[in-house]
Amino acid sequence: MLTFIVNNKEVKTNAPPASSLVDYIRNELHLYGTKIGCREGDCGACTILVGEMAGGELKYQTMNSCLMPLGNADRKHIVTIEGVNGPDLTPVQTALIENNGTQCGFCTPGFVMSLYGFCLNAGKEKNLANAIEAVSGNICRCTGYKSIEKAAAAIVKKLQPPQRGLLVPPQREPSGPMPGVMPMEWLVKNKFLPDYFLAIPEKLKKIAPAGAAAVRESGYIVAGGTDILLQNPEGAMTSGNVNFVYGAREYKRIKFADGKCYVGSTVTVKDLKESRELRAYFPRLDDDLKLMASPPIRNMATVGGNIANGSPIGDLCVMLLALDATLILRRQGENREVKLKDFFIGYKKVNKDPEEFIQWIYFDLPDENTRFSFEKISKRGHLDMATVNSAMGITLAGDVIKKAHFAVGGLGPTIRNMAKTADYLLGKKISNQTFKEANLIAQGEITPRSRAEYKRALVRQQLFIHLMSFAPGAISLEALQ
Ligand SMILES: Cc1cc2nc3c(=O)[nH]c(=O)nc-3n(C[C@H](O)[C@H](O)[C@H](O)COP(=O)(O)OP(=O)(O)OC[C@H]3O[C@@H](n4cnc5c(N)ncnc54)[C@H](O)[C@@H]3O)c2cc1C
Ligand code: FES
Ligand code: FES
């Protein structure tokens, strides 16, 4: 039986745990404020808040309830638009109305919930750029967005810094206080949220599991569900033998040991994006991962899921291939390791048994001579899969390349590990000549299945950008002529 809190009410249900949360919210709880637009994670109409106790602190993040398996709601606080309503309109709702940010209203609950995600996200500065990023997964057909941007700006203004004495002291990362903390007391006092929110931590503690959720050894693995609920593979939803791993805390962490970085498979894209430790090694990580999906999908999508689904355009897969990553997998008590470059064997086919669990992904930590670059071209700037994506990692000895890995997605059934191009680069200095010769080899390594000429041009441009980012003065635009 699943137990969770929806708005101010505890719910217990035996509904199928692999069904979609939005259906439960609308069909069983009759809360119709949460809308269904696309059922594909693309429109944001179904956005809700999901609150969870982590490290003694209640943290909320937005999720798309159309792709969220009901089982992932277990022991959590689910907040729908009805759950933020009070006797009067809240400051978030008022800002949308006063700035003409709503017309037909179909998208509005989703926008409101995404803006609440911004208000409640302790790790984000309360500025306009972050408010706009929070709604980057919401689509509106009526208002033209400018009025919604104005509403976002008004909300930023209303979010005054927390007052002394009201701050709930959350457990901080060792590197210092997080920016943009907006404690619950302040939001309740200023009528952003109803009073009942203050009692949620105690209620959640009562229904929280005694120990950390362990990963079972069998069953169809479901993590964030963003792929599974999109594709609804036959059997997985109805068999009942489902292995929910999203909550497995053991693998929801990034650890560093012996010069290597170990990323747990249930770490989400948001966790990666916001990891201060990783950003110290990969300064562009935040910007790179902004190109991946939308905030609610990034909050749900796990690293393990991105790898295991074997998509030929998976952004994390391309990045991890360029870091020459290795997977640690577990099945029936046995562990084995597989190099990521040997993992992708066909379109959405990977070198693993369906019940085999990816525990960790590890790679050598970059040193001061290592350079890393990721590029992605897609039709839209946000919330779009890649047309072509690629990543390159190199290690230099002086100005000579002594290690290189290059991976390209979007060209065929699997992501391409560009071993010949990488081998060619060994022992070379970055120059126009090196780029031209590397490009000739790269073009020989690829056989784009569609729009071949266009995709070949994208590979060439991305190779150029990688090399230029590694040695800006050593290569010039003339190389492209
Ligand atoms: C709207 C939208 C936009 C997207 N945009 C992008 C994008 O820009 N770039 C991109 O790369 N991807 C994108 N994706 C894909 C998304 O990132 C992946 O779907 C996600 O990472 C999968 O993770 P998950 O936890 O949701 O996996 P799930 O859906 O839970 O599982 C996917 C598959 O992986 C298996 N699995 C999951 N975890 C494990 C594990 N630890 N061990 C073994 N098997 C496992 C499952 O059995 C299943 O077969 C997008 C998806 C959506 C819906
Ligand atoms: S209904 Fe469109 S994102 Fe869920
Ligand atoms: S107000 Fe009509 S879709 Fe946004």
Mean pLDDT, the chain, whole residue set: 91
- CATH number where 412 lies: 3.30.390.50
Q: Pairing state of beta strands 242-244 and 220-222?
A: parallel
Q: Which atom of ligand 3 is nearest to the CA of 141?
A: 3
**71, 89: one domain:** yes
Q: Could you please report the per-residue DSSP string of 384-444?
A: ---SEEEEEEEEEETTEEEEEEEEEESSSSS-EE-HHHHHHHTTPBPSHHHHHHHHHHHHH
Give the span between the Cα atoms of 207 and 104, in whole angstroms: 39
Confidence class for position 172, pLDDT limits 50, 70, 90: very low
| Eight-state DSSP code of residue 20 | B
Res 32 pLDDT > 70: yes
Residues with Cβ < 8 Å from 400, sequence gap 6 or more?
427, 428, 429
Is there a contact between 229 and 40 (Cβ–Cβ < 8 Å)?
no
**461, 376: one domain:** yes
Q: Which of 142, 146, 147 to mutate to test the pocket of ligand 3 (most atoms within 8 A of CB)?
A: 142
**64, 139: one domain:** yes
45 CB less than 6 Å from ligand 2? yes
Is there a contact between 186 and 158 (Cβ–Cβ < 8 Å)?
no
Distance in Å, CA 271 to ligand 3 centroid: 31
**376, 356: one domain:** no
42 CB less than 6 Å from ligand 2? yes
Is there a contact between 241 and 19 (Cβ–Cβ < 8 Å)?
no
357 forms beta bridges with 330
Q: Total structural domains in the chain?
A: 3
Q: What is the pLDDT of residues 401-426, one digit of tens each?
A: 999 999 999 999 999 999 999 999 99
Stretch among 112-116, 309-313, 359-363, 439-443 having the lowest mean pLDDT:
309-313
21 CB less than 6 Å from ligand 2? no
Give the span between the Cα atoms of 137 and 458, in whole angstroms: 26
Looking at the chain, the whole-number percentage of residues with pLDDT higher than 90 is 80
**345, 392: one domain:** no
Res 238 pLDDT > 80: no
Give the span between the Cα atoms of 59 and 57, in whole angstroms: 6
Q: What is the pLDDT of residues 89-98, one digit of tens each?
A: 999 999 999 9
Residues with CB under 6 A from ligand 3: 102-108, 140-143
**270, 229: one domain:** yes
**253, 391: one domain:** no
The amino acid at residue 311 is S
**271, 344: one domain:** yes
**133, 238: one domain:** no
Q: Which two tokens stand for residue 283?
A: 């300064």
Per the model's pLDDT, the better-predicted residue between 198 and 176 turns out to be 198
Q: Which of 108, 115, 145 to mutate to test the pocket of ligand 3 (most atoms within 8 A of CB)?
A: 108
Confidence class for position 248, pLDDT limits 50, 70, 90: very high
Residues with CB under 6 A from ligand 1: 41-42, 67, 221-228, 230, 245, 265, 292-293, 297, 300-302, 304-306, 308-309, 314-316, 357-358, 385
Of 318, 341, 365, which residue sits at a domain end?
365
CB atoms within 10 A of CB 12: 9
Q: Which atom of ligand 1 is nearest to the CA of 69?
A: 30
Q: Which two tokens stand for residue 157?
A: 């203004």
Give the span between the Cα atoms of 74 and 76, in whole angstroms: 5
Taking alpha carbons only, the member of 178, 181, 107, 170 closest to residue 142 is 107
Confidence class for position 481, pLDDT limits 50, 70, 90: confident
Residues with Cβ < 8 Å from 18, sequence gap 6 or more?
69, 70, 71, 222, 225, 228, 236, 237, 238, 242
Confidence class for position 165, pLDDT limits 50, 70, 90: very low
Q: What is the pLDDT of residues 464-478, one digit of tens each?
A: 999 999 999 999 988
Half-sphere exposure of 223 (CA within 13 A, CB side): 29
**54, 182: one domain:** yes
Residue-level pLDDT at 263: 98
Burial class (CB within 10 angstroms; exposed 0-12, middle 13-18, buried 19+) of 472: exposed
- CATH number where 311 lies: 3.30.465.10
Residue 480: domain span: 372-481
Q: Which atom of ligand 2 is nearest to the CA of 46?
A: 4
Per the rule left: phi > 0, alpha: psi between -120 and 50, beta: everything else, 186 is alpha
Distance in Å, CA 354 to ligand 2 centroid: 27
Q: Is the dihedral of CA 112, 114, 120, 124 positive or negative?
A: negative
Of 317, 337, 365, which residue sits at a domain end?
365
Q: Could you please report the per-residue DSSP string of 21-32?
A: HHHIIIIIS--T
Distance in Å, CA 22 to ligand 2 centroid: 9
- CATH number where 70 lies: 3.10.20.30
Ligand nearest to the CA of 268: 1
Of 185, 207, 229, which residue sits at a domain end?
207
Give the span between the Cα atoms of 390 and 161, in whole angstroms: 41
Q: What is the pLDDT of residues 194-215, one digit of tens each?
A: 999 999 999 999 987 655 567 8
**125, 76: one domain:** yes
Residues with Cβ < 8 Å from 257, sequence gap 6 or more?
none
**199, 216: one domain:** no
Q: Which two tokens stand for residue 223?
A: 């993590």
Burial class (CB within 10 angstroms; exposed 0-12, middle 13-18, buried 19+) of 461: middle
Residues with Cβ < 8 Å from 424, sequence gap 6 or more?
437, 438, 441
